[in-house]
Amino acid sequence: MQHTASRPDAPANQTVSDRRDSESRSTSPTPPPTMSVELSVNGKTYSLALDPRTTLLDALREHLHLTGTKKGCDHGQCGACTVHVNGRRVNACLSLAGTHEGDEITTIEGIGSLAALHPMQQSFVECDGYQCGYCTSGQIMSAVALLDEPVGPADADVREAMSGNLCRCGAYQNIVTAIQRVREKA
Amino acid sequence: MELFQLSRANDVRDAIAAGAASSGAAEGAQVRFLAGGTTLLDLMKLNVERPGRVIDISRLPLNQVEATADGGVKIGATVRNADLATHPLIRERYAVLSQALLAGASAQLRNMATTGGNLLQRTRCVYFRDTTMPCNKRTPGAGCAAIDGFNRTMAILGVSDACIASNPSDMNVALAALDATIHIEGVKGSRSVPIDAFFLLPGTTPQRETVIEAGDLITHVTLPPQPEGSRSFYLKLRDRASYEFALASAAVVVKVADGRIAHARVALGGVGTKPWHSTEAEAALADAVPDAATFARAADAALAGAQPQSQNGFKIELARRCLVHALTQATRTH
């Protein structure tokens, strides 16, 4: 058994500043044990010292400060936390960060930039595929992954494939239009 | 979530040795195997599951779908639901399994959830998931809040005075109709369990849902070849069109020869405390003419033992019609 957990003596993270973590350590009399985890996110490698309970979602948001990925329900029911692991979409809230060593993680920050939007991001802008925007990064990460999945051509097929991403504003119609426009051009 | 130690198993032996340190594998196990995490981590966040050790088995070499010499198929325990649903062997020979998998959860969850994990999926009973409420499955002897509570989604078949929680899986319903065998490695060696014997009725011990013991690891599932010319179908009825658990579902495998039903397998989902293999429906179908009257008799037989609660009596008629429609679809001649 290769032990990767419970290393109270693990060195503090040296590559990423982690203000929140060090603060909680200084105020808590018995800090929880941490494990060292190496994560590859958007092509960059990060060495982190994490509480074993840390989800991939919390590692991204609270430790790497990649806050584009959102926390909605935190129980795999809304899709706001959708990221890609080795090119496939998953719910980052239902996955432990410590199980992702060696995986390639891609977040919304990794698929495009303000200067060069991903075609799906551009299409969401053009089609007005959002209102409040909270679910949008999850919607876009799902939509980008969908392009490589066996999904039928109809709008109904897209709706079914996107059912794991909820939008409480109800922007569904424009989201489907945005996705179909990208698929038509591909 | 309570603190735990997380480690990765290097091989099956390693995992079994780690799991065997737990005093049991039922509710309250101190060691849990983690594959997709879609059930386990969810329940750990709710403090329903509180293991002190979590063993990551997601990278064990159990992720293959292979044809077997007898014409069947062998499915590794860590094969993802999405990969299983779209595998050519499954699509060609076991359409009902592909359909059931694709009717379950969301694309994201299907990319995570595994074959072994889906077999061990826990109920969605709201009282089981809420540690402030009494639940005999969570705390044996505490009582059942569902029986006199919100029981609209609960089971009507296989219920007991202690528990009426329904099994939420779609995959397991298809596996029950396909005569699946579950292969388990444990401290005492390996064993193979037919799916009907794998799941336990709640009775007076609802905390025990399967025959799995401490240290047991599901390694793979095998499906026998289906009769030449048989057809299969999965129908799922639910409150919304997608990304929702079944109120009632039906998995059927039927072969018609010379105007008679030569082979029939029937399993129901959403209505049973375990994936509900209905031998009563199969007996009604055996050697009968595949018509509306036969299908109605089979559906009546399947639901004859139903015990509804205050809010879920509608499931009897819903499940009846679900099964009749699935049988009609599987035997359509045009």
Do A74 and B7 count as a contact with CB atoms less than 8 A apart?
no
**How far A14 CA lies from chain B's nearest CA (Å)?**
22
| pLDDT value for B333 | 85
Do A99 and B1 count as a contact with CB atoms less than 8 A apart?
no
B235 domain residue, yes or no: yes
| pLDDT value for A12 | 39
CA angle B167, B168, B174 (to 5 degrees): 90
Final residue of a structural domain among A110, A134, A163 = A110
A68 domain residue, yes or no: yes
Q: Which B residues, 53 through 92, put their C-beta within 8 Å of a C-beta on chain A?
A: 54, 56, 58, 82, 86
Q: Which distant-in-sequence residues (6+ apart) come within 8 Å of B214 by Cβ?
A: B19, B20, B21, B22, B23, B24, B25, B29, B31
> In total, how many domains does chain B have?
2
- For B50, the domain range is 5-56
Residue A116 contacts B, CB cutoff 8 Å? no
> Which residue stretches of chain B have pLDDT < 70?
334
A148 within 8 A of B86, measured Cβ to Cβ: no
| pLDDT value for A124 | 98
Sheet with B276-277, strands from edge to edge, namely: B231-237, B248-257, B260-269, B276-277
Q: Check whether residue A104 and residue A126 sit in a common domain.
A: no
A12 domain residue, yes or no: no
Residue type, B171: M
Q: Check whether residue A124 and residue A76 sit in a common domain.
A: no
Backbone angles phi, psi at B8, to 5 degrees: -110, 130
Cα distance from N-terminal residue to C-terminal residue, chain B: 54
> Which residue stretches of chain A have pLDDT < 70?
1-29
Q: Which B residues, 98 through 117, put their C-beta within 8 Å of a C-beta on chain A?
A: 105-109, 111-112
Residues of chain A contacting residue B14, judged by C-beta atoms under 8 Å apart: 1
Residue B1 contacts A, CB cutoff 8 Å? yes
A139 within 8 A of A162, measured Cβ to Cβ: yes
Note the residue count of chain B: 334
A36 domain residue, yes or no: yes
Do A96 and B243 count as a contact with CB atoms less than 8 A apart?
no
Q: Check whether residue A105 and residue A135 sit in a common domain.
A: no
| pLDDT value for B27 | 82
Nearest to B8 among A4, A51, A146 (CB): A4
A101 domain residue, yes or no: yes
Q: Check whether residue A102 and residue A23 sit in a common domain.
A: yes
CA distance linking residue B68 with residue B64, whole number of Å: 12
Chain A residue with minimal CA distance to B129? A75
A137 domain residue, yes or no: yes
Q: B232 has which bridge partners?
A: B253
- Greatest pairwise CA separation for chain B in angstroms: 62
> In total, how many domains does chain A have?
2
The CATH code of the domain that includes B325 is 3.30.390.50
Q: Check whether residue A28 and residue A95 sit in a common domain.
A: yes
Residue A86 contacts B, CB cutoff 8 Å? no
Residue B239 contacts A, CB cutoff 8 Å? no
Residue type, B101: L
Residue A45 contacts B, CB cutoff 8 Å? no
A141 domain residue, yes or no: yes
Do B41 and A142 count as a contact with CB atoms less than 8 A apart?
no
Q: Indicate if ipTM > 0.85.
A: yes
Residues of chain A contacting residue B18, judged by C-beta atoms under 8 Å apart: 1
Q: Could you read off the pLDDT of A6-17 as tens digits, one per residue?
A: 433 333 343 344
Q: Check whether residue A39 and residue A67 sit in a common domain.
A: yes
Q: Check whether residue A32 and residue A93 sit in a common domain.
A: yes
Q: Which residue has the tokens 């009563």?
A: B280
- For A177, the domain range is 119-185
Do A164 and B109 count as a contact with CB atoms less than 8 A apart?
yes
Residues of chain B contacting residue A82, judged by C-beta atoms under 8 Å apart: 108
Both tokens assigned to B231: 């057809």
B129 within 8 A of B137, measured Cβ to Cβ: no
Q: Check whether residue A158 and residue A96 sit in a common domain.
A: no
Which residue, A108, A75, A107, is CA-closest to A94? A75
Q: Which residue has the tokens 């039922």?
A: B26
The CATH code of the domain that includes A153 is 1.10.150.120
Q: Check whether residue A77 and residue A135 sit in a common domain.
A: no
Nearest to B107 among A33, A51, A164 (CB): A164
Q: Could you read off the pLDDT of A84-122 as tens digits, one per residue?
A: 999 999 999 999 999 999 999 999 999 999 999 999 999
| pLDDT value for A28 | 57
Final residue of a structural domain among A76, A110, A144 = A110
pTM: 0.94
- Taking residue A170's Cβ as centre, other Cβ atoms within 10 Å add up to 10
DSSP string, A81-138: TEEEETTEEEEGGGSBGGG-TT-EEE-GGGT--SSS--HHHHHHHHHT--SS-TTHHH
**How far B3 CA lies from chain A's nearest CA (Å)?**
7
Q: Could you read off the pLDDT of B255-279 as tens digits, one per residue?
A: 999 999 999 999 999 999 999 999 9
The CATH code of the domain that includes B10 is 3.30.43
**B33 three-class SS:** strand
Q: List Cα–Cα distances, A31 to A8, A17, A23, B3, B143, in angstroms.
A: 9, 18, 11, 11, 37
Q: List Cα–Cα distances, B15 to A50, B33, B59, B221, in angstroms.
A: 23, 8, 11, 18
Query: What is the gyration radius of the CA atoms in chain B, in angstroms?
Result: 19
